[in-house]
Structure 1
């Protein structure tokens, strides 16, 4: 959970990262979501999440 109380979840099966606010069920897609792969708009089974001070994933 970050300073703004967002929870970030990586979903390896969907190759995406979502951000949730308290009470949200679907969340907001913040990375991936275009299938698995090595292109800039794809993730490949994301496992760990890292953030900088600007909240960039």
Structure 2
């Protein structure tokens, strides 16, 4: 079993994004499946492109 820990603010930010995404789907808005490397780094709070590359290579994308 994998456990993912989030800070309270990060959790509520994520919930808010999910709700917005669901509402967007209900109103037939289309969203890109992929995010840019910079957006992924921001969302994951990673500052190194090497770390993003390692995560992607290890199938954690």
TM-score between both structures, scaled by the size of structure 2 = 0.22
TM-score between both structures, scaled by the size of structure 1 = 0.23
For the pair shown, which has the larger CA radius of gyration, 1 or 2? Answer: 2
- Using CA pairs under 8 Å that are at least 6 residues apart, name the structure with larger relative contact order, 1 or 2: 1
Say which structure is richer in strand.
1
